Structure 1
C-alpha cells in the first residue's frame, strides 16, 4: 500500500465516529481511503449512516496528524499491517462485517489456506479443563490447524502452549498495541508465539489494555477462525462474548459440556442449551462437523500390507481383535494415556485403517 493510502486508512481508523463498518462503506463508495477525503461533503451525505458529525470528523486535521504519528511508529518498529482489501488479509476475517480495516501484526504468520480455530474459556480453569484443552490440541495436531486465542491466563495460554508443544502455528489477539504484552507474565510466551505464529491487533501502539478493548478484540478472535471452541466458562465472561460474536458471524461454535451446577461449566452448558454451540467431547466431533477431509490413499494405491510404527500397529491389532471399543477402554487395556492414544488413532484414521464412531468409539476398517 502506498504511503498516502495508508495514511488515509489510519486517519479513518483514528476517528471514533467512523467505525470499521462505516469506514468500509465510505471506501466502497469512493473507491479508496484517500478518495474519501477528496470527495465533496454533499456527496458523502448521500451514503446511509453518514451524518453531519461524521463529516465534521472527516475534516478535522487532528486525525490527519495522529495518522502521521502512528505511521512513523509503524516504520520505526517494522510491524506488519494488512489492509482489508489486500489478498493476504485473513480470509475468514474478511467476511466479518465489522472486521478491522487495518490489522497490525508481528511474527511469522502464514494463514493462507490454513485451517484456523479459536480456543477460548475461563481464566480460572480446572485441572480437567486444562487436560481437555491439551488433549484436544494433541488430537488435532496431525491436521495442522492454526490455534487462535487471546494470551490471557487459563484456557488461552494453555491453548497457545499446547500449540507450541505440537509445532502448530498459534496467533494471539491483543487488546492493546503491539509495543507491550498483557499480562506481563506471558511476555516469554509472546516471544515463542512470534517464532511460530504471531501477535495481531487493530489497536494503535499507544493503546492500553482497558476492559472495553478486550471485548472489542474478541471479534477478531471469532472472526479469524472457522470455528470457536469454549473449553470452560462461568455464567458470564469474555469467552461467552466471543462465542456470541462467532455465532452472529454464522460460524460453528463448540462447547465442552460439564456437570450441572459446576461453576466453570455454566457458560458452556448454557451455550449448548440455547443451541448456540455444538457439544464437543473429542477432536473427532470437530473434524466431522467442520467437514475437514482426512486424506486416504486412492484405491489404486491401497496396500495389502501396511507397515506401521509399533504403537500404531498395537492399536490396530487391538481393534481388529476386539471390534468397536471406547477410547478409554483402549487406553486402559493397552496402557497408553488418552492424550498419547488420540494422535495414534487420528493417524490411523488418516490412513484409512480405523474410523471414529459416535460416543468416542473406534473400529478397525
Structure 2
C-alpha cells in the first residue's frame, strides 16, 4: 500500500504542474492521494488545471522514480516536508510559489523565531568577510543563518555561524545525493550537526543553471530578512534580494566603495530604496525587533554589565581586578551571563558584552 509520503513525492514528479497550481490542488483536495484519486472533471474545476493536466494526473504512472526517491530518503534518514506538514518552514507559506515538498536533513529548527539569510558574491573582499564575522558574532545564539552553500559569501556565512555557535542551513540547487560545489563537502557534513541541508529537488537532480533562482527564492522566503553583503549589479544575490522584496521581507544591504564592482549591487539596492543600509549588527537587530526583550537581571549581573561597558574586551584577570569578586563568584556570574546571552566568551578566556547591552 502506498503511503501519503509516497503520494507527496509522486505529486511533485508531474512535470507540467508548477507550485502555484499544486497549491491550488492541495487547497481543494487536501492531500496528494486525494488528488490522484479525484475524477477528471473535479480536477478541471481547479484554477490552472485544464483537461490536459487533469489527464496527466489521472494517467501518471512513473512509479519507479518515486520508489527510488522514497528508498533514498529512508536510507539516508532524510525528512520530507510537505507543504501541509507542521515542520514545513511556515514563512514559506506566505510565498505564492512556495515549494510543495522539501527534503531536509539536519538538526536545526526550521521554524525558529529568528532567521537571517546572508547572500553575496563568490569573490568577497576582506571587507565583506569582516562584515559577516562582526554581524554573526553579535547575533543571539537562537538566530538561524540561511544561505546557499555557494563559494564566497555563502561559505563564509555558514562557517562563521558554526564558529560562533549559531545553527546554519544550506539551501541546495540539486538533490541531497551530492554536494555542490565539491570543496564544501566537509562544511556540509559539519552543518548537518549544527544546522542542516534543505532542497526541493529529488536525488539525481544535478545543479543546472535554472535551478539556482529556485534555490534563491527559498533562501529569501524562509527568512525574516536577507542581508546582502557584496554583489555586482547582476547575479544570484540580486535575484535573492528581489525575491525577498517580492515576499515583503526585509532586505538589508552593506554599503561599499563606489569604485568596487562587488559593491555596485548593494549600492543600487540602497539607492532605489529596495534595501535599508547596514550600519551595525545592533541596528540590524533593532530593525528586526530582535533585541526588544531582555532577561531579568540581578543587581550583581547589572553591576558586571556596567563594568564591561567601559571597554570592548576583558580578560578574566581584568574582570577579577575591576569587580573585586572572588574567582569562584566571578566564574558563576560569567556562566550566568553567558547562558543568558548577555556576554560572549572569546578565545583566550576573554569576554565581551553582546551589542544590545552597551546602552542599558
TM-score by length of 1: 0.83
Match of 2:96 in 1: 97
Match of 1:8 in 2: 7
Matched, 1:257 2:266: no
Question: Residue 177 of structure 1 is aligned with which of 157, 175, 187?
Answer: 175
- Structure 2: how far apart are the matches of 1:34 and 1:316? 59
Counterparts in 2 of 1:246 and 1:297: CA distance versus 1, 3 Å: closer
Matched, 1:153 2:165: no
- Structure 1: how far apart are the matches of 2:149 and 2:76? 21
Q: Structure 1, residues 80-104: CA drift from partner, whole Å, max 9, x if none? A: 1111111111121222221111110
- Structure 2: how far apart are the matches of 1:177 and 1:211? 14
Q: Structure 1, residues 283-313: CA drift from partner, whole Å, max 9, x if none? A: 1221111111343355xx6628834289825
Matched, 1:315 2:311: yes
1:61 shift after superposition:
3.3
Matched, 1:266 2:264: yes
* Structure 2: unaligned runs, 5 residues or longer: 314-345
1:211 shift after superposition:
0.8
* Structure 1: unaligned runs, 5 residues or longer: 318-338, 356-364
1:185 shift after superposition:
0.6
- Structure 1: how far apart are the matches of 2:292 and 2:311? 19
Q: Structure 1, residues 131-175: CA drift from partner, whole Å, max 9, x if none? A: 1111111111x3531100011111000000000000110000011
Q: Structure 1, residues 214-257: CA drift from partner, whole Å, max 9, x if none? A: 11111110111110010000010001101100111111010001
- Structure 2: how far apart are the matches of 1:199 and 1:311? 42
Match of 2:162 in 1: 164
Comparing 87-96 and 242-251, the one that deviates more: 87-96
Match of 1:82 in 2: 81
Q: Structure 1, residues 295-332: CA drift from partner, whole Å, max 9, x if none? A: 3355xx66288342898253299xxxxxxxxxxxxxxx
Comparing 166-175 and 102-111, the one that deviates more: 102-111
- Structure 2: how far apart are the matches of 1:75 and 1:184? 24
Cα RMSD, aligned residues only: 2.5
Q: Is the 8 A contact 2:171 2:218 kept in 1?
A: yes
- Structure 2: how far apart are the matches of 1:316 and 1:171? 30
Match of 1:277 in 2: 275
Comparing 130-139 and 227-236, the one that deviates more: 130-139
Q: Is the 8 A contact 2:224 2:249 kept in 1?
A: yes
Comparing 117-126 and 11-20, the one that deviates more: 11-20
- Structure 2: how far apart are the matches of 1:245 and 1:10? 26
Match of 1:237 in 2: 235
Partner SS, residue 219 of structure 2: helix
1:62 shift after superposition:
3.6
The number of aligned residues is 326
Counterparts in 2 of 1:47 and 1:282: CA distance versus 1, 3 Å: same
Match of 2:352 in 1: 344
Partner SS, residue 129 of structure 1: helix
Counterparts in 2 of 1:149 and 1:311: CA distance versus 1, 3 Å: farther
1:59 shift after superposition:
2.7
Match of 1:138 in 2: 137
Match of 1:306 in 2: 302
Partner SS, residue 315 of structure 1: coil
- Structure 2: how far apart are the matches of 1:72 and 1:233? 40
Comparing 197-206 and 308-317, the one that deviates more: 308-317
1:64 shift after superposition:
3.6
Comparing 302-311 and 28-37, the one that deviates more: 302-311
Partner SS, residue 62 of structure 2: helix
Q: Is the 8 A contact 2:141 2:165 kept in 1?
A: no
Comparing 4-13 and 219-228, the one that deviates more: 4-13
